Amino acid sequence: MSSTDSFQSSESLANLRESAASGSVEAMTQLLNQTLAHKQIETEVWSEEDELHVYLQGERAPDEKSSVMLCCREMTQWHLPGARFLLISGQEKGARESSWCWQLSFLESDGQMPTLHQAANGELWRRPKLEKTSWEPNSPPDDLWEPQSIEPEGWKAIAVGIALALLILASQQVTFLLSPVITLVHELGHTLTNWIFGYPAIPAFDFMHGGGFTFNVERMPFLMGLMYCGFGYLFYVYWQNYLTARVLLGVAISYTFCAFTGIHEFFVIAMGHGFELVFGGIFLARAMSGYACRYSVERPLYAMLAAYVISYDIQFSWRLIFDQTTRAIYNQGKAGIDHDLVRIAQDVWNVDLSLVASVMLLATLLTPFVVWGMHRYWRWIVYGINRLFSLRVARS
């Protein structure tokens, strides 16, 4: 863009803000549409006496906090003299009611409700009780049970991401440059699992032999005590909810059983590759849904990372199953230490390495389908979690 075009653009923006300050609803709508264009959100604005109403609508319900914050940041540039209150709501296209609604004050300080400047700074702290936008726990919305489909933008992002990932894997040099990402995620999986079961651990790169490794020391009872303190706190908070208390009790018993048997060693070893699949699934979910993606380029990048991680693990496990040379090199270990799948095959399952590699291949192939299923029934999952941890059901 030339300096002349840039000057004309800034001048046009200044003119629109001047029109908005004078009360032009059309200018307000155009400015907010420009602000939220990257989120594919359409805006409708109207005023009633001293109230300004802003209605946001998208293919899915607009993200509450970021949408309100972006709108308020733009409105702080208008300096509206006659407006006292702002009512901003968001709704999915085709829905009968708003998904959320905020009531804000244009005043610099207001003890009754959050102000425009607080919202612009991301300091939303109080939502008004509006009958039309509040959900009763026992009365889920009619469209809750309708499965979600992947929108066209999601399919395009996934297609572009897969193409980019295949191009990366086709070049050994580029694959080598991105391999530290796999190594970092892998070692973080070992590290996190070690800490959960009471073993302090630190991930590190192995610059001598390649790849990475995780330093860990003997179990510290203090860390185990912290885990049980966490369970105790959750029991204290949700003890009146009989269902939640039983779920927490089951999790605590399962954790104890794993922690004081050899099962936790399997998790510590397996969660290196397991964490790779978890991160690949998270990246794929972001590409499918576009959740928290501010710019359109983010979704193909998430899809590329997901496809790269999943394809990398498919290629890795496939070679361990069918390539004898790769399997022989992997069996040799590194610096006298066996690799993860060898340890699982020999020390845990007592089976051939190719069988463990087959299980990993199956888990890797299932990852996209699991993510797709969670995306399709995400509303069910969120509703179930909300019912589990938000309701306070007294014991009978």
pLDDT value at position 130?
40
d(CA 243, CA 389): 9
pLDDT at 5: 52
- Contact assessment for residue 312 and residue 364, using Cβ atoms and an 8 Å cutoff: no
Average pLDDT, integer, range 184-208: 95
Cα–Cα nearest to 279, from 199, 163, 355, 182: 182
Host H or E run for residue 46: strand 41-48
The per-residue pLDDT for 139 is 52
User: Could you tell me the two tokens for 391?
Assistant: 């309701």
User: Rounded to 5 degrees, what angle do the CA atoms 93, 295, 25 make?
Assistant: 55
Tell how strand 51-58 and strand 41-48 pair up.
antiparallel
Between residues 167 and 9, the one the model is more confident about: 167
CA distances for 173 relative to 168, 177, 179, 270, angstroms: 9, 6, 10, 28
Burial label for 38, CB within 10 Å (0-12, 13-18, 19+), is middle
pLDDT in tens, 142-159: 566 788 899 999 999 999
For the chain, what percentages of helix, strand and coil (3-state, to nearest 5) are there?
60, 10, 30
> Who wins on pLDDT, 51 or 97?
51
pLDDT higher than 60, residue 371: yes
